[in-house]
Chain A
Amino acid sequence: MRLAALAAGLIALVLASPARAFEIEQERRFGPADGTPIQVLSTTDTAAFAPVLEDFVARHPGRSIRYVQAASTEIFAAIHDQDARFDLVISSAMDLQMKLANDGFAAEVEMEAPGLPGWARWRQQLWGMALEPVVTLASRQALRDLPLPRTRRDLIALLRENPDRFRGRIAAYDPQVSGVGYFLIAQDDQVSDGFWRLAEVMGRLNARLFCCSGQMIEELRSGRVSIAYNVVASYAARFRPDDPDLVQLGFEDYIFAIVRSAFVPVNAPDPEGARLLLSYLLSDPAQRLIAASAGVALVPGTGPAPSPQLRPIRLDAGLLVYDDRLRRAGLLAEWRAALVQPQAGP
């Protein structure tokens, strides 16, 4: 719960972004190549989302989608500062989505979504479309004889007791690069007092920081890391069935579930198409597909019910506090202090 101390000068650096094009990770087209596509800007991994988009274009002949994948901070900057024009913006960085909506970038969409829980929606503007549990993954091979940790406390103990085995072999989000990473640290900070001890232990063991869940999983599968902390479960789900080495550690103290949300920007070129896609995404068939890959249903009845330790994060105005400059700068300073330790050089 301790919060950041910061001089105003330091803060200015963090969000100051010169006008530039945002960085695209991947771009793909679904549906027929001719005609104007519905433009989607999303953090969701293209491969993971492909089945849903393919189902949409199959159901709507003549419609096509241009799917642009980018990091959440890039998406935020593109919409907030660079006037990028897209029809639908999908992101797992709830705080950034909330800020975009709060600052007036999201259009009102008149739509019925009866199954959608009230906490997964903000006004008629921000629509939750997936529940994404955030889990810790481990390589069975790397753990070998060690017992699987059942809480964060167990994990801390495990790391402390086996420093040599885990040195340089822990993966975590880099909150300075990843919007989701920062958001998860802010959540951890708010919910758990033990989190900073874990951060310190990870820092001492020279944890490696990544921009995204996909990369962490790749490292884990290739055997270069043993534990990946805070990985979005939908990525893991893509590999787990055919990779017996991956274990998902469902901590018993708490498991966050991020609400991936979508909105139609006020300057969307094709709001009609956006509305069509959005209402498809909230429909039962799409929700079934999404729930199958996330492992949990956002709309009750479309997939496995959430487990009791799952803590969905509500889409509400409280999320605005995470984007506060002072708060952000303080939190990142603390993170650096905990993780980047002088004696543990790369």
Chain B
Amino acid sequence: MNGWLRLFDPARIASLRRRLVWQFLVLSAALVLGLFLTVGWVADRASRASQDAVLGAAVTAITEGIRSVDDGLELDLPYATFSMLGAMGDERIFYALAVADRVVTGYDDLPAPPEPALDMVPIFWTADYRGARLRLSAVARPMLIDNRLRPVTVTLGQTRLGQAAIARDTARSAAWAALVFLVVALPVALLAAQAVLSPIRSLAEVMGRRGPRDLRPVRHPTPRELAPLLRALNGLIARLRGALDLAETFIFEAAHRIRTPLSLVRTEAELALSETTDEATRIRLRRMVRAIGESSRSANQILDHAMVMYRSDQFAAAPLDLAALTRAVVRAVAPLADMRDIALSQAGLDSPCPIEGDERMLEIALRNILDNAVKYAAPEGRIAVSLRREGPMAVLRVQNDGRGLSDDPAQLMARFRRGGNVGDIGGSGLGLTIVTEVAAAHRGRFRLEPGEREGTCALLHLPLA
């Protein structure tokens, strides 16, 4: 019983669509039942009324056929009236003609009227007689019999099987019509439910298509009923973005505030180094300068990372030439490579390579890739930078010789993760994280793989404009 009820509880049906269809079905079934009962009732009333009219007319006609004659009453019981009364559904007919309370002809034991019949106005009632339910009508009329005025009452009763059957048939037809209508309406209801729910689906699709860091407010057109949901969603997004902004600004600020005093300390340490001659102090000071350099590079990386995060939130792409940008970055790292006697070769950087992107972000990414190449290349080694097009993508390839990879490249992309091959080479472990994020913001991808013969190869794919 309980489980049965629970099946009908709309709140328990997980699908909105199914819930709508269920409710439609339940309502429609109630409608069909209601129609059946109402039409049955109305048809019964209407046919009963019209049959009462016929019965009343018949009993009146019989009464009018009574004549008073010398030796009693004369009655012309009309054949046609009886034939007509019985016509609908072969009804049984009973009658009685009574003078005062004595039945003169007809059925002696026919139920008497519940109230005295009035002069020529038929009264109607229902009674059981000889195993059947009868509708009866009676008319009374005073007549002169043996010089005395005496009341003559005619009672006429008929079964109403035909009328009941007609009312039942009518109700059944109405119910069938409603049922057919329901069957026809069901697919329509399914479609309607689908249509009603389509804005929800399209909103979900729009949300699903968004990039992982896309925190712009949702501007999708929705029906009025969904506006509160959309407002709540946008409110949530705004709060989230506010929190992120705050965190990034804070990191930005913090890195900045560390960097400035660090460079001051470094200048001071270098000055002290040039002024002192005590070898032990010099060694100490040199270590200090180095550590400070590391720290400020780390701070720079953190700053860059914060910058990349920030800019990919507010991503604003503009047309730019990847070849020119790469040339510029290569030029910037060239002195570092020179210091380690590394040969830098370039290919494919002469012809322009137009892409849509954020120049600042891309520059940071390229510098990190090239920094790594210089850092991990063998002394007096080689770095080959090449740019080419592969289908809809521009592919930048930076190949360096040297120690090669010792870890799973995918894991090296994580924040602050450094490889086991680093040795005494300084670094923060943020470089590849930055590159990956820049690639993702541009709908491109970044990969690190072992070089063809030796060393490492970094591959950056970016969609062409």
Residues of A within 8 A of B (CB): 3-8, 11, 102-104, 122-123, 190, 314, 316-321, 324-327, 330
Contacts and interface: CB of A to CB of B under 8 A. Distances in A.
A314 B83 CA distance: 9
Nearest to A327: B77
Interface of B: 69-80, 82-87, 90-94, 97, 99, 102, 104-106, 130-132
Contacts of B72: 5-8
B447 to A, nearest CB: 87
The 3 closest A-B pairs by CB, nearest first: A317-B86, A318-B83, A7-B72
A318 B86 contact: yes
Contacts of A317: 82-83, 85-87, 90-93
Nearest to B84: A318
B74 A5 contact: yes
A104 B92 CA distance: 9
25 contacts: A4-B75, A5-B71, A5-B72, A5-B73, A5-B74, A6-B72, A6-B73, A8-B73, A8-B104, A11-B104, A11-B105, A103-B130, A104-B92, A104-B130, A122-B90, A317-B92, A318-B79, A318-B82, A319-B82, A321-B79, A324-B77, A326-B77, A327-B75, A327-B76, A327-B105
A319 B79 CA distance: 7
Contact of B73 (A103, A190, A320, A326): A326
Contacts of A320: 82, 93
A299 to B, nearest CB: 19
Contact of A324 (B75, B80, B84, B87): B75
Given A8-B104, A104-B131, A321 B74 contact: no
A184 B102 CA distance: 31
A160 B99 CA distance: 44
A60 B85 CA distance: 41
A219 to B, nearest CB: 33
A109 to B, nearest CB: 14
Nearest to B162: A123
B97 A316 contact: no
Contacts of A102: 92-94
A3 B75 contact: yes
Contacts of B77: 321, 324, 326-327
B95 to A, nearest CB: 8
B86 A316 contact: yes
B75 A316 contact: no
Given A3-B75, A8-B102, A317-B91, 4 more contacts: A3-B74, A5-B72, A326-B74, A327-B76
Contacts of A5: 69-74
Contacts of B93: 102, 317, 320
A330 B67 CA distance: 13
Nearest to B62: A321
B82 A321 contact: yes
Nearest to B66: A326
A7 B105 CA distance: 11
A102 B92 CA distance: 5
A324 B105 contact: yes
